Amino acid sequence: MRIKFLISIIACMAFSYALKAQQTETTHKKIDTLIIQTNGHCESCKNKIEKGLAFEKGIKDVTYEISTAKVTVIYNTNKTTPENIRRFINTLGYDADHMKIDNSQQQKSECTKE
């Protein structure tokens, strides 16, 4: 009787371990890179965009190149999307590719935008 009980317990543990391994396999992080054209012009814009995006859910790394006005974002696709990232850049007061800000969204900053 004890042997049957032990075999049942071992079989249940093996089954649950296999099921957990399968679930873990399907939920791996998928990291992607996105490059967004924006309209920042200075060091203040760079800091505002990099610091603002750094704490957004799913963002792993942000780099802003002033000379090209491009933001490179490394993000987890399970937690955010390119459209969410562009929308957040808009809320900071900057254009993001095809998503332009309107005058009501423009925020005053220390920037000397031309």
HEC letters along 21-75: HHHHHHCCCCEEEEEEECCCCCHHHHHHHHHHHHCCCCEEEEEEECCCCEEEEEE
Q: Which domain holds residue 65?
A: 31-91
Q: What's residue 40's pLDDT?
A: 87
User: What pLDDT does residue 12 have?
Assistant: 64
In a domain, 101, yes or no: no
Does 72 fall in a domain?
yes
Domains: count for the chain: 1
pLDDT value at residue 104? 57
Q: What is the pLDDT of residue 3?
A: 81
Q: State pLDDT tens for residues 58-95.
A: 999 999 999 999 999 999 999 999 999 999 999 998 99
pLDDT-wise least confident of 22-26, 80-84, 95-99: 22-26
Instruction: Assign 112 to helix, strand or coil.
Output: coil
| Domain membership flag for residue 5 | no
Task: Report pLDDT digits (tens) over 31-52.
Answer: 999 999 999 889 999 999 999 9
Q: Is this structure's pTM higher than 0.75?
A: no
Q: How far apart (Å, rounded) are the C-alpha atoms in residues 62 and 75?
A: 9
- Tell me, yes or no, whether 66 lies in a domain: yes
What contacts 93, CB < 8 A, 6 or more positions away?
Answer: 48, 101, 105, 106, 107, 109
Tell me, what CATH number does 54's domain have? 3.30.70.100
